[in-house]
Chain A
Amino acid sequence: MKSKVKVKIDNVKLVEKLSKLEIEEKDYFTKQFNETLSVVEEINNLDTQGLTPTNHVTNLSNVFREDNIDEERLLSQKEALSGSRCVFNGYFVVKAVFENE
């Protein structure tokens, strides 16, 4: 647990892909990544044996509400689509997910 993690540029490339981001200056980014990790890893010096991880800070659990629809709060289709840059016939337009064979 206490071993220091050293992130390499390949790790950064993987995380970049997972996050759907594009990073320029990957070397600089990797350096900063390691700097941050070395600071946060200080918590490994604390003994947390037997402690439960915090799940909810004010100890709420299983909060439910009635499964009712409040008609006044419904957005119209037009409103719901109003933030999109590309709509067609009342739908959001997305890039094709599957490639043609």
Chain B
Amino acid sequence: MNNLTIKNARKLFVDKKISSHDLVKYYLERIDKYDNKLNSYLTVNEKALEKSRNICKPPDKNKPLLGIPIAIKDIFLSKKLRTTAASKLLDDYVPMYSATVVERLENAGAIILGKTNLDAWCHGSSTETSDYGPTLNPWNSRHLSGGSSGGSAAAVSADLCTAAIGTETAGSVRGPAAWCGVVGFKPTYGRVSRYGVIAMGSSLDSPGPITKSVEDASLLLRIIAGKDEYDATTSDISVDNYLNELKKKRKNLRIAFAKNYLLKNMDDRAKKAIIDTTKVFKKIGAEVREIITLDPRYAIGVYTIIQRSEVSSNLSRFDGIRFGKDRNYFGQEAKRRIMLGTFTLSSGYQDKYYKKAQKVRTLFINDFKRIFENFDLIITPTMPGPAPKIGATKNQAMFGEMADILSEAPSIAGLPSISVPCGFVDGLPIGLSIIGPQFSEKVILKAAYLYERFTDWKNFKPNLENL
């Protein structure tokens, strides 16, 4: 049962080699054994075992995930299952309804195995702002798992679930996926519903799958994507059968290699690993050319202002009256972000900060449009290097925004992007990001699938005995 993908688990269910109950038991035992140290789960669903026991048929077309145990970032509301956003403010909060994503997964037959750790309120790129302590990196427990969806990425990497769901505002799915050596997909803004996701930056937040393979990401994305009448920002553009699209032949890809995303201070070995990916793409028939984009450093300012402004507005609903504890329970990072956002939206400063940021955002959108006139996709490193050590965020007023520098420009432009494993530096995984125009999910997945098949990074797994 080691390291089963959804695809392989489904096959074993169909062939009656194992049952969903066996698989849930397998994960619960592993969680029991390793997660005290790793800290990837905040809540394990006590009903998972019982639910799996009642499953007596294999997955089919209507229930493609029947019996598959999935971990959910603890930012999604889950009916009658504690949801904390990794903040003590919501320590004992039990929602009365589920997020659309959770509902769609359950309707497809998935078993919610538990709720995973994150930076409190998604504020960070390390899980170090979690009120329940950081999630460690399964490859080396002295290092960060990344964030904010660090618990989800670590749980997938350490084989404590079949697959997981995270959310990304800028880098929060792809970053931890890269640092934990798994696949992370951030869809186009509005492709996946935000209903029932505790809001961070409402004009940016995008739920997405974190998986052991590109095929699994394709399968999960199709299930969670699509119009939702409870989230007015979801698109009614039809959802493709991404899994079938992977097998289809398509014309050769034109790939732009964003040369200025290889930052000056980046680790040389990480740089080389990214340059090597261009060789792989050329071998599989793609046309790869270097380009220069608008400097991603400017995206830090745009992203920080927009995100913190939206945070200040979204977190104003936590009044301690209807649910949760009072505002004194916000941690340092949340307070910092709420206050900066309140400032940038305050009278006299709104034009200087918020409006200016939205104008530069237009500049980034136009810059990507210009590139996509001649290219299908852009490739960049996901993060500037491998996971830093635990404690790296101490006294850093904007660790998250700085660490996510390479994810911010595509995110503020609403673009979809995947991170796939592309090498190791000092035994720690790094990731390649493949970015496409809005709603080009199937092209991105196809390119990632070809890359994954041509390389063998997916075969490397962390050794948890070394934790």
In the complex, whether A41 has a CB less than 8 A from a CB of chain B is: yes
- Could you list 24 A-B pairs, sorted by A, with CB under 8 Å? A5-B349, A33-B343, A33-B397, A36-B336, A39-B300, A39-B304, A39-B398, A39-B401, A42-B297, A42-B300, A43-B360, A45-B298, A48-B356, A51-B362, A52-B362, A54-B365, A55-B358, A58-B438, A60-B235, A83-B93, A83-B322, A83-B324, A85-B325, A92-B321
In the complex, whether A63 has a CB less than 8 A from a CB of chain B is: yes
In the complex, the answer to whether B304 meets A54 with C-beta atoms within 8 Å is: no
Contact partners of B340 in chain A: CB under 8 A: 33, 36-37
Q: Among B298, B328, B346, B397, which residue has its beta carbon within 8 angstroms of that of A35?
A: B397
Binary interface encoding of chain A residues 52-73 relative to chain B, with 1 for a CB under 8 A from any of its CBs, else 0:
1111111010010100000001
Known A48-B360, A58-B414; contact A1-B352, beta-carbon cutoff 8 A: yes
Question: Smallest distance from the beta carbon of A43 to chain B beta carbons, Å?
Answer: 4
In the complex, whether A18 has a CB less than 8 A from a CB of chain B is: yes
Bound Cα distance from A8 to B111, whole angstroms: 52
In the complex, the answer to whether A84 meets B301 with C-beta atoms within 8 Å is: no
Known A39-B300, A43-B302, A94-B321; contact A53-B339, beta-carbon cutoff 8 A: no
A-B residue pairs, 6 tightest by C-beta:
A83-B323, A53-B358, A57-B414, A48-B359, A43-B301, A32-B397
Binary interface encoding of chain B residues 310-335 relative to chain A, with 1 for a CB under 8 A from any of its CBs, else 0:
00100010001111110110100001
In the complex, the answer to whether A80 meets B398 with C-beta atoms within 8 Å is: no
Q: Among A7, A35, A56, which residue has its beta carbon within 8 angstroms of that of B343?
A: A7
User: Which residues of chain A in 2-42 are interfacial with respect to chain B, using CB atoms and an 8 Å cutoff?
Assistant: 5, 7, 11-12, 15-16, 18-23, 29, 32-33, 35-37, 39-42
Contact partners of B325 in chain A: CB under 8 A: 85
In the complex, the answer to whether B96 meets A79 with C-beta atoms within 8 Å is: yes
In the complex, whether A82 has a CB less than 8 A from a CB of chain B is: yes
Bound Cα distance from A43 to B355, whole angstroms: 11
Question: Smallest distance from the beta carbon of B93 to chain A beta carbons, Å?
Answer: 6
In the complex, the answer to whether B235 meets A53 with C-beta atoms within 8 Å is: no
Binary interface encoding of chain B residues 354-393 relative to chain A, with 1 for a CB under 8 A from any of its CBs, else 0:
0111111111010000000000000000000000000000
Known A36-B340, A54-B365; contact A80-B358, beta-carbon cutoff 8 A: no
Bound Cα distance from A79 to B77, whole angstroms: 14
In the complex, whether B43 has a CB less than 8 A from a CB of chain A is: no
Residue of B nearest to A82 (CB): B96
Contact partners of B321 in chain A: CB under 8 A: 84, 86, 92-94
In the complex, the answer to whether B353 meets A32 with C-beta atoms within 8 Å is: no
In the complex, the answer to whether A63 meets B361 with C-beta atoms within 8 Å is: no
A residues whose Cβ falls under 8 Å from a Cβ of B: 1, 5, 7, 11-12, 15-16, 18-23, 29, 32-33, 35-37, 39-46, 48, 51-58, 60, 63, 65, 73, 75, 79-80, 82-86, 92-94
In the complex, the answer to whether A36 meets B330 with C-beta atoms within 8 Å is: no
Contact partners of A80 in chain B: CB under 8 A: 96
Q: Among B190, B300, B349, B362, which residue has its beta carbon within 8 angstroms of that of A60?
A: B190
20 more CB-based (< 8 A) A-B contacts, given A51-B363, A92-B321: A7-B343, A20-B316, A21-B339, A23-B339, A29-B336, A29-B339, A33-B339, A33-B397, A35-B398, A36-B304, A40-B300, A43-B301, A48-B359, A48-B362, A56-B203, A57-B189, A57-B365, A57-B412, A63-B233, A94-B321
Binary interface encoding of chain B residues 208-249 relative to chain A, with 1 for a CB under 8 A from any of its CBs, else 0:
000000000000000000000100110100000000000000
Q: Pick from B188, B301, B336, B413 the residue with the most CB of A within 10 Å.
A: B301
In the complex, whether B97 has a CB less than 8 A from a CB of chain A is: yes
Q: Pick from A15, A45, A56, A80 the residue with the most CB of B within 10 Å.
A: A15
Contact partners of A85 in chain B: CB under 8 A: 320, 325
Contact partners of A42 in chain B: CB under 8 A: 297-298, 300-301
In the complex, whether B305 has a CB less than 8 A from a CB of chain A is: yes
Bound Cα distance from A93 to B336, whole angstroms: 29
Bound Cα distance from A83 to B358, whole angstroms: 36
Contact partners of B440 in chain A: CB under 8 A: none
Question: Smallest distance from the beta carbon of A7 to chain B beta carbons, Å?
Answer: 7
In the complex, the answer to whether A65 meets B298 with C-beta atoms within 8 Å is: no
Question: Smallest distance from the beta carbon of A30 to chain B beta carbons, Å?
Answer: 10
In the complex, whether B338 has a CB less than 8 A from a CB of chain A is: yes
Bound Cα distance from A15 to B344, whole angstroms: 10
Known A63-B232, A92-B321; contact A54-B358, beta-carbon cutoff 8 A: yes
Contact partners of B190 in chain A: CB under 8 A: 57-58, 60
In the complex, the answer to whether A32 meets B336 with C-beta atoms within 8 Å is: yes
In the complex, whether B286 has a CB less than 8 A from a CB of chain A is: no
Bound Cα distance from A52 to B342, whole angstroms: 23
In the complex, whether B94 has a CB less than 8 A from a CB of chain A is: yes
Contact partners of B229 in chain A: CB under 8 A: 65
Bound Cα distance from A38 to B408, whole angstroms: 18
Bound Cα distance from A82 to B320, whole angstroms: 13
Known A5-B349, A18-B342, A42-B301; contact A36-B359, beta-carbon cutoff 8 A: no
Contact partners of B349 in chain A: CB under 8 A: 5
Bound Cα distance from A45 to B302, whole angstroms: 12
